[in-house]
Structure 1
Amino acid sequence: MNRLTSSTPSQAAIRLTVSGFLLMQIQSALLLMSPSLDRESGMLIWILTPIAVSAFVAALIGIPEPPEGHWRQRHGR
């Protein structure tokens, strides 16, 4: 996968970035809607934050994609 900072980023990098930012926006909206931060909300924030950050970091670093013809291998022919 091409990195997000390359001249031609791959679709997977863009999708990871967008999904990471959407998770961060959901978290912010939940915080803004709650009058006080209780234990359940805090736990939800601690679950969503590492997922959003890891999606953004994975988009910046780049995840290797499998070769295009890896699924075309013949078995025993």
Structure 2
Amino acid sequence: MHKQIEEEQTRIPKATPYQFTTTDYPVVPPKPQPKQCTKPEPFRLESVARHEEEEVRKDMEERKRLKEEEARMRMFKAQPILKE
């Protein structure tokens, strides 16, 4: 029975323990200094830029049309009404 227990123990592999070096604990590197926060920069979408360009163009065309109409109104001269 003693021999049988020894045979069972020899069949079960045993892990070798960790051999400590000069230090018992692993060396942990120091934490890096925290970096400064970045400032968010607004980005411009192409579609938004195109839309704004169209709005500016339409506004300029409207102003031009109003100026031409105003100039035409200044050129207007009233004609007298002839009564018989």
Q: Scaled by the length of structure 1, what TM-score is found? A: 0.37
Which protein is richer in helix relative to its size? 1
Higher RCO (C-alpha under 8 Å, 6+ residues apart): 1
Q: Scaled by the length of structure 2, what TM-score is found? A: 0.34
